[in-house]
Structure 1
Amino acid sequence: MFESRGEKVFRTGVTVVLIILSVIAIIPLLNVASTSLSSKSAVEMNLVTIWPQQFTLSSWGYIMDRPDLWKSFFLTLSTTVVGTILALLVTALIAYPLSKPEFRWGPVIMIGAVIAMIFKAPIVPYFLTIRSIGLYNNPLVLIVPHILNPFNLIIMRTFFKQFPKELEEAAHMEGCGYFRMLFQFVLPLSKAVLATLTLFYGVVLWNQFQHPLLFLQDPNWFPLQIKIRQFITDDNVLHIGRASTANLTYNDQTLRSATVIFAMLPIIAVYPFLQKYFVKGAMLGSVKG
């Protein structure tokens, strides 16, 4: 497609700005990763920038041997997987009827979703509500409050509104009901929006911090982000089972850096598989109201 000179200049300028912002964003991440792979002496002498100095895996070896960290990891992994599946199911079951013009309560419910998206619940009433339904100090609090997000509901509902009506009409003529239509025809053809919302829900569930901080008191139910906070702020937790620091090749800073990268790796590993659907799904879910 032919581009005018102004369009080429604009595209080039946007590309340059995005590259600069990407570099600025990735430098701190590279520094943390390099610190986790550097020796204690190199870190203490401030020799580490974006490349490991005196390369060593001793920090990673120490945190890999921490059973409490692995327990938090698998708790977070299980709640993320289960929570994302439930969230997609609930969102689809609500979004599909809302996408149908014959559902007369649809506009009212959508207004409620927009209000819920704009005006967040005050923290004290929210806390009391969660506690009143039995989720205080209950690991289900890591899943239940996140199974429906108004913004994600709007995206999926808008996507379903663009689904070809001819296909649905043909299926209805063959005796296909709404549930069968949704699960056998609509969802299999909605990979783009499902991948997009999988990423949205998954990141929220994996990185949740406020909910476990407010509602969980039992250390056995602490998810990964709370465990990382303990590692960063509480030296007693970080040093459990550790020998004297005299002959070690790692220190608190390298251990904490390794723990941070450890928590980021699963999301970084999953994102490339969802990237091809991500932009398409987000755009398709936001074109029409």
Structure 2
Amino acid sequence: MLESRGEKLFGSVVTIILLLVSFIAIIPLLSVLSTSFSSKRMVDMNLVTIWPKEFTLASWDFMMYRPDLWKSFFLTLGTTVIGTILALLVTALLAYPLSKSEFRWGPVIMIGVVIAMIFKAPLVPYFLTVKGIGLYNNPLVLIIPHILNPFNLIIMRTFFKQFSKELEEAAFIEGCGYFRMLFQFVLPLSKAVLATLALFYGVVLWNQFQHPLMFLQDTNLFPLQIKIRQFITDDNILVTGAVSTAGLAYNERTLRATTVIFAMIPVVAVYPFLQKYFVKGAMLGSVKG
């Protein structure tokens, strides 16, 4: 079907507007990126905009040899990978029975899920509960509170409800149980929603800030986002081993920009591989309730 002249004009205008909005949105990121690769002199003179001036890797060389940064990085990476796997497993184990009409307690549990999604736990009782079960100053606090999200549970449940009942009945006749059905048939056919929820859970685990700030006092257990906060707020941490940055090729601003970009790289690197599943999974999980 050929597009009319008006439709082509409308499409062109929308494309231009979206390109402009995208460019405006990416300007702050380009500014931070160019600052990390610019010389201290250019940054001090406020001459760096969206392109590096006097290109240098001095800030990156300094940050890449900081053991405390790498320790926080691998701690965050480990908690993100383990937490995402556990979250997908727990979500699937709960969403599958809730998607079955023969599960009589399903409607009651779903009411509880919706209530939990709408009404958040009060901060003080939540803090006392988490502390009371032994997660205070415990690295598991970076994982356990995030392994089930009501919104993600609803998406996966809705996705599971679309599976063919005839296929499941045929598998049950052949002697297949619910667990085998879930792990050998349902989950392998659910790559789209699994990839989508993996991205949701992974971003939350990677970027978590409030939980470690509330429950972790040991600096050795600080995840990457809290370590970056230290770098941004405490100049002494950035210039460890030097009285000042006067004789160095970097300063606090270039180092801070480097840490921000460093924390973004893993998420930006993983997203393109999940993008093809992202829209499909989100749409399939929201067709019907």
For the aligned pair, the TM-score class normalised by the smaller chain equals: over 0.9
* 2:206 is the alignment partner of 1:198: no
Question: Residue 248 of structure 1: CA displacement?
Answer: 1.1
Q: Aligned equivalents of 1:120 and 1:20: distance in 2? A: 37
Q: In the TM superposition, what is the alpha-carbon distance from 1:17 to its structure 2 partner?
A: 3.0
Query: Which residue number in structure 2 is paired with residue 275 of structure 1?
Result: 275
2:46 aligned partner, one-letter code: N
2:233 is the alignment partner of 1:236: no
- Offset of residue 105 of structure 1: 1.1
Deviation at 1:6, TM superposition (A): 5.8
Amino acid at match of 2:52: P
Q: Which amino acid counterpart does residue 239 of structure 2 have in structure 1?
A: H
Supply the distance in 2 between the matched residues of 1:47 and 1:222 (Cα, whole angstroms): 34
Match of 1:179 in 2: 179
Q: Root-mean-square deviation (CA), in Å?
A: 1.4
Give CA-to-partner distance per residue, 1:130-184, whole Å, 9 cap, x none. 1111111111000000000000000000000011222211111100000000000
Q: How does 1:24-173 map to 2 (within 5 A)?
A: 24-173=24-173
What are the equivalent positions in structure 2 for 1:254-269 lying under 5 Å apart? 254-269=254-269
Cα deviation, 1:167-225, whole Å, max 9, x if unaligned, reads: 21111110000000000000001000000000000000000000000000000100000
CA positional deviation for 1:237 = 1.6
Alignment partners' CA distance in 1, 2:8 and 2:110? 40
Q: How far 1:10 moved relative to its partner?
A: 4.8
> 1:3 and 1:251 mapped to 2: Cα distance?
55
Are 2:12 and 1:15 equivalent residues in the alignment? no
Moved over 6 A (4+): none
Paired with 2:138 and 2:81, the residues of 1 have a C-alpha distance of 18
For residue 102 of structure 1, give the secondary structure of its aligned residue in structure 2.
coil
Distance 2:63 2:36 in 1: 11
Deviations 1:68-125 (A, max 9, x none): 0000000000000000000000000000000000011111111111111111111111
Q: CA deviation at 1:11?
A: 4.0
SS at the partner of 1:62? helix
Match of 2:227 in 1: 227
Aligned to 2:247: 247
CA–CA distance in structure 1, aligned partners of residues 89 and 54 of structure 2: 49
Q: Which piece of structure 1 moves more, 108-117 or 86-95?
A: 108-117
CA gap of 1:150–1:6, structure 2 versus 1, over 3 A, is farther
Matching residue's letter, 1:71 = K
- Stretch deviating more after TM superposition (89-98 or 15-24): 15-24
Structure 2 vs 1, CA of residues 126 and 5 (structure 1 numbering), >3 Å: closer, same or farther?
farther
Instruction: Return the TM-score normalized by structure 2.
Output: 0.96
Point out where structure 1 has 5 or more consecutive residues left out of the alignment.
Answer: none
- Mark the runs of 5 or more structure 2 residues left unpaired by the alignment: none
* d(CA) in 2 for partners of 1:93, 1:3: 47
Aligned residues: 289
Q: Specify whether residues 5 and 91 from structure 1 end up closer, same or farther in structure 2 by C-alpha distance, changes over 3 A only.
A: farther
Amino acid corresponding to residue 55 of structure 2 in structure 1: F
Q: 1:189 to 1:229 in 2, by over 3 A?
A: same
- What is the TM-score normalised by the length of structure 1? 0.96
How much does 1:8 deviate? 4.6
State how far apart, in whole Å, the 2-side matches of 1:2 and 1:107 are. 48
Distance 1:107 1:15, change over 3 A: farther
Per mean C-alpha deviation after superposition, the further-off stretch among 233-242 and 90-99 is 233-242
Identity within the alignment, %: 81
Q: Deviations over 1:43-68 (max 9, x none)?
A: 11111111100000000000101000
User: Shift of residue 16 of structure 1?
Assistant: 3.0
